[in-house]
Amino acid sequence: MTSACFKTAFLVTAFCSAAVAQPPDPLTASAFDHFYNLEYKEAAADFRAARDLHPHSADAWIYVAQGVFYTAMYDSGITEADLVNGQSSLVRTKRVTMTPRQEAEFNNALDTAESLEQQRLAANPQDSSALFGMGGITALRASYALLVKHAWFTALRNTSQSRHYFEEVIRLDPSNCDARLVPAINEYVVGKLPPLARFAARAVGMTGNKERGLLEIQHVAACGRKAHVNAAMLAAEIARRENRLPEAIAYLEELTAAYPRNFRLRLDLVTAYNRAGQHQKADQSLQALDAMLDRGSPGYSGERAARIRRERDAALRQVAGDRENAPQLAAAG
């Protein structure tokens, strides 16, 4: 049950926090462009600058916490895909390492955001925007409890609270597509648990249905205003893992075009092409990535280049293994 707990908690929290309504300024737009291109330090700097322009915006403070946390997560070598791919043992044995300064900034940002949202809720308990913000706050607290402190049940409790906030938003405003992402992820993950673990999840108010959850994730990818990128990335990873390759390729081609400096999307597209038997496209994509590394293209130079090359080599080994086992893969499909 512990594995199921943190698998559920991490998946729910990892993809939801960027869904909060964004303050309308160029700095926030720049921050999210960096964020989805895996440039977390640059995103964090822009989030701080946007916060300074909007000090009374709870959302701006939430983004600061998000930028700090994802910078630490990236530097610690943990990604959202680790648990989507079932790498629960990795997260059980590794922690996100945060410096004391990062922890202080993270917690202060969330405390400030929560204070601002609670003031709004005191004035209007049905303020859907404030409830949405509380969903993001509790989601990030769950991520922190899980990946920094390894406090599994604190993470699960915060995850359940986050789902509750977003479900309340949906009740008040059924047209809010973004609010559907967290409950959808929860539905999908809990729906995949073994029967005994699913029964235990019900004891803490968590129910699920895999098919319904996946349809909702895909719905948010199509209709979401702020959460559609998160939903599309998750839908792509699920489709790739479950060998629904045309669907995965469609998502990944769109995402790679939108975020060309996100090298992981490019590598995921390479492996999806390869598993689909589109070997020429896989090879061309790898050659294009190598050319960007050789040129030092934006996002493919400096200290990132060595990391990209390591992950590129791992993808190349997977490509070679898939081609060697092509008959078995075809039979499985």
pLDDT of residue 146: 82
pLDDT of residue 24: 63
pLDDT of residue 328: 52
Mean pLDDT of 228-232: 90
Mean pLDDT of 62-89: 77
Distances (CA, A) of 1 to 81, 152, 193: 20, 10, 9
Is the model's pLDDT at 200 over the cut of 90?
no
Please check whether residue 210 is in contact with residue 191, taking contact to mean a CB–CB distance below 8 angstroms.
Answer: yes
Mean pLDDT of 291-317: 94
Is the model's pLDDT at 23 over the cut of 90?
no
Mean pLDDT of 296-315: 94
The 3-state DSSP composition of the chain as helix, strand, coil percent (nearest 5) reads 80, 0, 20
pLDDT of residue 142: 87
Distances (CA, A) of 43 to 18, 27, 36, 203, 310: 12, 9, 9, 39, 23
| 9 compared with 265, residue with greater pLDDT | 265
24: DSSP letter: S
Is the model's pLDDT at 7 over the cut of 90?
no
Mean pLDDT of 64-93: 73
Mean pLDDT of 12-35: 70
Residue pLDDT, tens place only, 108-166: 999 999 999 999 999 999 999 999 999 999 989 988 988 898 887 788 888 889 889 99
Please check whether residue 132 is in contact with residue 169, taking contact to mean a CB–CB distance below 8 angstroms.
Answer: yes
pLDDT band at 333 (very low <50, low <70, confident <90, very high): very low
pLDDT of residue 33: 93
Please check whether residue 106 is in contact with residue 98, taking contact to mean a CB–CB distance below 8 angstroms.
Answer: yes
Contacts of 37 (CB under 8 A, 6+ apart): 259, 260, 261, 262, 299
